[in-house]
Structure 1
Amino acid sequence: MPVRRIDPASDRAVYRQIADHLRQAIESHELVAGTQLPSESALVNEYGVSRVTARRALSVLVTDGLVVAEHGRGWFVRRRPPVRRLSADRFARRKEGKAAFTVDMEANERTFTVDVLYVGAAHAPAEVLERLNLPAGSSVLVRRRRYLVEGQPVEYATSYVPLGIAAGTRIADSDPGPGGIYARMEDQGLIFERYDEEIRARMPSEDESRLLQLPVGSPVLHLVRTAIASGQPVEVCDTIMDSAAFVLFYSLPAA
């Protein structure tokens, strides 16, 4: 990095000026993903500031989601693989044996892995049962997955499927087969009509931060999708997304 100087006449705090310099280096790709930032000691020597000021500058970048602190190693530019999520179009290729996330990854030319965390019968939250038109206290088939893009967790999803649809099918297996669970539903003769999605931004829970390895202060996108097939809700998918890793794309008809 070229040497940058603090402006003593500026009303911007010194630690924020240092953070601005580092942010500029990251956004200009002078410091690329995975690169180690200058240490606290290096910043102290370069800017003539205290270690506390240097640490505050680095902490600003952590809060902004640009940097991660690795205990005993230092500060690194965060790997943030952006994924362009293709809205409802992503569901249209299940007949080719491709699940929606696979379609997104192919469109973005990204490599990915899926951690299947749980598959089995369990009770569902009241809000989910209401969306599925099921009585209070009903059990459903629950599928929990974590998606990683190039080794970085970006999404955590939980699907809830009525047992009357899932029981005795590959929907209840860890690997539901080509096209995912929607293709298995179509094997039963269900005809998909629409997908209703609600999206909001919020701060993550402690468990969500841990699963997605989020820096402190990083928000998530909370997406809830209800799939409607043959006149009935057949799945509710509750998804937590690293907001820094996704661009949501929707193409809407003009009339």
Structure 2
Amino acid sequence: MNENRPTPSRRIAEDLRSDITSGRLQPGWKLPSGRELARRYGVTQNTANRALSILAAEGLIVVKTGSGTYVRESHPIRRLGPDRYARHKWQNTIVTVHADDRPDGETVEQQGGQTQDVALTEADEEIAAALGIEVGAPVYERARVMTRDNHPTHTMNSYYRREDVEGTAIVDPRPGIAGRGGGFAVLSERGLEPYEITEDISARMPTTEEALLLELPAGEPVVEVRRTTRTREGRPIEYARGVHAASRFLWSFTYPIPD
């Protein structure tokens, strides 16, 4: 027996993967059912279904209950770097995205949007440490689901000291950016202009709730971003936790090499 020879399920998966990556099977196209694949390859339906499970775990296909299995539709990629926080972009809801992850690739513009739920809550240990306040102190939580052309891309939960944002557009629960210029503009109007940002970025698998909220296929990870924003004097004015669909973003940074 040749130990390097793929199992029947992997052989089917390899054939379908090749058809998908070569473009012979286009995004959105329906795949043959497990029964049809079993008949085509002369295997059991369980073997054929295992092949489809392999591709679903790789994020190449999606299963729609009651409808069938489809080639996963690709999403334009948004390149994220420090420039996204530029002051001239604070009120801009149009984002530029790339058809792929190449910096010189074709770009298109998409309309951004967001839901918004605002609540007064108590700071946990992580929030308290980031904002320099006591655990249990009142903070405003601004929870949002971000979209591009009405498709969810990431969530963002921001936390603020109560006295910093009380009565401002930041605590207005209506959908969309805060006020006319967004949250950073509102903070600037309060004499708390954002100057420095620290971001910690990590990858993990999504929770069930996150997968449903972001419409993620099986097997797709998320990228979690934890952001602390400070004034020029070093006073923390916002702490945020974001969960991003990994396939829809590319982080890009250019900086001088430290001594």
**TM-score interval, smaller chain:** 0.7 to 0.9
Matched, 1:25 2:25: no
**Structure 1 residues 94-138: Cα deviation after superposition (integer angstroms, max 9, x where no partner):** 466226xx4455995243453414112122332011101111101
Cα gap change, 1:36 to 1:165, in 2 (>3 Å): same
**CA offset at residue 24 of structure 1?**
1.8
- Bigger proportion of residues as helix: 1
Q: Secondary structure at the match of 1:209?
A: helix
**CA offset at residue 74 of structure 1?**
0.3
TM-score scaled by length of structure 1:
0.87
Cα gap change, 1:49 to 1:72, in 2 (>3 Å): same
Assess if the C-alpha contact under 8 Å between 2:185 and 2:193 holds in 1.
Answer: no
**CA offset at residue 204 of structure 1?**
1.6
Cα gap change, 1:91 to 1:38, in 2 (>3 Å): same
Matched with 1:153 is: 152
In 1, the alpha carbon distance for the partners of 2:126 and 2:185 equals 25
Which residue identity does 2:22 align to in structure 1?
A: S
Matched with 2:198 is: 196
In 1, the alpha carbon distance for the partners of 2:48 and 2:150 equals 30
Matches within 5 A, 1:237-248: 237-248=240-251
Matched with 1:89 is: 83
Matched with 1:227 is: 229
Q: Secondary structure at the match of 1:253?
A: coil
In 2, the alpha carbon distance for the partners of 1:147 and 1:95 equals 16
Assess if the C-alpha contact under 8 Å between 1:202 and 1:219 holds in 2.
Answer: yes
Identity of aligned residues (%): 33
The two structures, once aligned, show a CA RMSD in angstroms of 2.3
Q: Secondary structure at the match of 1:226?
A: strand
**CA offset at residue 166 of structure 1?**
1.1
Assess if the C-alpha contact under 8 Å between 2:96 and 2:110 holds in 1.
Answer: no
Matches within 5 A, 1:1-255: 11-94=5-88, 97-98=91-92, 102-104=94-96, 108-173=107-172, 174=174, 175=176, 176-230=178-232, 231-254=234-257
In 2, the alpha carbon distance for the partners of 1:26 and 1:125 equals 46
TM-score scaled by length of structure 2:
0.86
Q: Which runs of 5+ in 2 are unaligned?
A: 99-105
Out of 196-205 and 121-130, give the one that drifted further: 121-130
Q: Secondary structure at the match of 2:36?
A: helix
**CA offset at residue 146 of structure 1?**
1.2
Assess if the C-alpha contact under 8 Å between 2:29 and 2:70 holds in 1.
Answer: yes
Q: Secondary structure at the match of 1:240?
A: strand
Assess if the C-alpha contact under 8 Å between 2:27 and 2:72 holds in 1.
Answer: yes
